[in-house]
Amino acid sequence: MAAPRTASPRRPPAPRWPRLLLSLLLLLLLPAPSEGLGHSAELAFAVEPSDDVAVPGQPVVLGCKVEGTPPVRITWRKNGVELAESTHSTLLANGSLLIHHFRLERGGSPSDEGDYECVAQNRFGLVVSRKARIQAATMSDFHVHPQATVGEEGGVARFQCQIHGLPKPLITWEKNRVPIDTDNERYTLLPKGVLQITGLRAEDSGVFHCVASNIASVRISHGARLTVSGSGSGAYKEPTILVGPENLTLTVHQTAVLECVATGNPRPIVSWSRLDGRPIGVEGIQVLGTGNLIISDVTVQHSGVYVCAANRPGTRVRRTAQGRLVVQAPAEFVQHPQSISRPAGTTAMFTCQAQGEPPPHVTWLKNGQVLGPGGHVRLKNNNSTLTISGIGPEDEAIYQCVAENSAGSSQASARLTVLWAEGLPGPPRNVQAVSVSSTEVRVSWSEPMVNTKEIIGYVLHIRKAADPPELEYQEAVSKSTFQHLVGDLEPSTAYSFYIKAYTPRGASSASMPTLASTLGEAPAPPPLSVRVLGSSSLQLLWEPWPRLAQHEGGFKLFYRPASKASFTGPILLPGTVSSYNLSQLDPRVVYEVKLLAYNQHGDSNATVRFVSLRGASERTALSPPCDCRKEDAANQTSTTGIVIGIHIGVTCIIFCVLFLLFGQRGRVLLCKDVENQLSPPQGPRSQRDPGILALNGVGRGERGQLGRGEKCVDAKELEQLFPPAGVVGPPGSRPTDPTAPVPCEETQLSTLPLQGFGPLDRRATEAKTPCTGPVAALLPLDSGPNLLGKGQVTQLSEAPAAQPAHSGQ
């Protein structure tokens, strides 16, 4: 071990007077704001105050240098309040502030600690510097003292002390009241107050003290004795990490110390890596002692989780520990705002982009006062863009962008010059807005009082009265027009309007704004869908309309069996409701459901739906509740179901093939029948091709055969759903007089086989239209070629389905 150096008596740090006097001398040599600064029409800071730590009773100098057009007046603020002139502080000629004797709050006198700002002003505007925080130097007592420890020869010993101070105390160590020899490679001193001793020897035994010092004071910890015992047994010991890295939060350019102390026999190898797999790098990286990672001049890219690994040599046995490093960066500007000149009445825009970690918050100042959105001022893109519309003389100022985060703040300024041309027209007069309809408002105005000859047009500014100014939009109007119809507005909504006159030299001032509300109207029909919940219940679904509640509106619901004349209802529902359930319905009946929306202006058209519960009731009857008693029975049922499913699948495939074959044959016959029907008759009616009769109608005798052979549709089922008008008797009975006229006010449903309906009998039946009431004929979906188009199953006709249709002869 190298011989320890001779200890010298510990003295407090030298006073700060020489450094302060040198700083004061340099600041006094800086030119005053009025000397040689006339070259800049801007007002900006060349030097801004910075954070500092002061010793009570000693002087403090806060630097400030301003460039701008003289005369420039400089003042200072403390915690946002302007500092008054006093004998305690002096404003130097160059704008810096000298505090003669820094003081803490004592005996009623205020403390000099706080946030200081330099304020500069000339005839163009006012700017404020970044905030500089001045704090008093302090030193606390040790809250962690080193502890006595015992180690074996060749082992590792570690001492630690912790103390708070401002500025951060410098930590050194003494052994037996003598400073540790820092040239000894076995002794590692970490800045955070840790002493590591590796490869212990008998001469390392002694009493160790931690010494902390800064400009405020010096503190010495309690002593901790190190006892080094005899050499170890040499037995194998698993690698162990005694101390792993801690989580650290630092600011850029500081030094990160990630500690890792490992022990074991044989001595483990310590390595470092990043948890995200990125390389640690080599620049500014060093390993201190036997495994401590030191990162000098840290940047944001160094942030991450670092892993310390202790490996047994020659094996894969390892132990790990990890710690997170967070590096913060003070706000700095990527894009500074630029000074601009704009004609009066136009729009001025400043852009300011800052970066930092964490992301900085941006605020704007106008002549030193916080500027928020409102009126004609808009802030967008996280306050990075400042827009001032319709600028006037009152908007001419110096605007500052201030970016701030937990690591620091920065500011940049720019000037807005408003060009006010002579001879601009005055604001338009007598602006009035009158509602024309639910979507239109007519705006009228009169010419300005003065300077109207150069007017080239008007611009009307429009926005909803409840919207912020940034949602305003404009419409241009001819110079010879003094009224404008604004369309595409929302019903029952208040709007704000104002207008400007434009000339080649600029715009006039804005007219007085006026308000108008569009007229109301009845709402549109609501979309409605129906879901069958069971054999006796329905769920009605639609979209909620919150605006209905704002206009004393909602929904009205009606329902009835389709065969009855009167509805049940109305059921009144609020505009925020989007569903309603109908229960205790008759599963044998077709229901008509009607939904409409209403407000104070009236009812909408109704949305009507027809729905039948028969399918749900039949499915319920075909699917009785399962009676699962034993697990074996369940397995047997499952196997049986699989077999049945296979048979059903094969059967479906066979039916599909047959359907395709017969469908192709039906189309060929159909085309042939149409051709024969359109050709002139070649013989008596009795000798005609029966295909014509099949195309244009079916006789009474043939109708029964068709029903038995092809089963186009279940007539009994349809007649039960929709009983024909005038039929008295059990369901399924036919009308006694097929030629009787059908009443116009009733909706009739009848069935036709698809092959028995063609273009000619449509024309024939349309010629026999005795009334305007619709009669619906339901066509089966699966009955071969569809003359009405794919997927169309309902055809309006003028004759009952039971009456055959004949071609004209």
pLDDT digits (tens, 9 = 90+) for 631-659: 444 445 556 667 787 878 888 888 888 87
DSSP E strand stretches across 406-536: 408-419, 429-435, 441-446, 457-464, 473-477, 483-486, 494-503, 506-507, 514-517, 529-534
Sequence letter at residue 265? N
Q: Which two tokens stand for residue 552?
A: 């004393």
pLDDT tens for 22-42 read 444 434 334 444 333 333 347
The closest of 167, 7, 194, 25 to 96, measured between CA atoms, is: 25
The stretches of 433-585 forming alpha helices (DSSP H) are 546-550
* Polymer length in residues for the chain: 809
Q: Is a pLDDT exceeding 50 seen at residue 352?
A: yes
pLDDT band at 405 (very low <50, low <70, confident <90, very high): very high
pLDDT tens for 511-563 read 999 999 998 888 889 999 999 888 889 999 998 887 776 667 899 999 999 88
pLDDT of residue 640: 67
pLDDT band at 207 (very low <50, low <70, confident <90, very high): very high
End-to-end CA distance of the chain: 132
Residue showing tokens 């009431």:
773
Q: Got the DSSP string for 687-732? A: GS-HHHHHHH---HHHHHHHHHHT--S-HHHHHHHSPPTT--SSTT
Sequence letter at residue 273? S
Average of per-residue pLDDT across 450-471: 89
More confident call, 708 vs 414: 414
The span from the CA of 87 to the CA of 144, in Å, is: 43
The DSSP bridge partners found for residue 370 are: 365
The DSSP bridge partners found for residue 418 are: 342
The span from the CA of 216 to the CA of 167, in Å, is: 8
The closest of 59, 68, 73 to 27, measured between CA atoms, is: 59
Q: Is a pLDDT exceeding 50 seen at residue 749?
A: no
Q: Is a pLDDT exceeding 50 seen at residue 615?
A: yes
Q: Which two tokens stand for residue 242?
A: 């005694």
Q: Got the DSSP string for 329-397? A: EEEEEEE----EEEETTS-EEEE-EEEEESPPEEEEEETTEEE-SBTTEEEETTTTEEEE-S--GGG-E
pTM of the model: 0.55
Residue showing tokens 């000037």:
415
The span from the CA of 195 to the CA of 180, in Å, is: 10
- Give the three-class secondary structure for 73: strand
Q: Is a pLDDT exceeding 50 seen at residue 686?
A: no
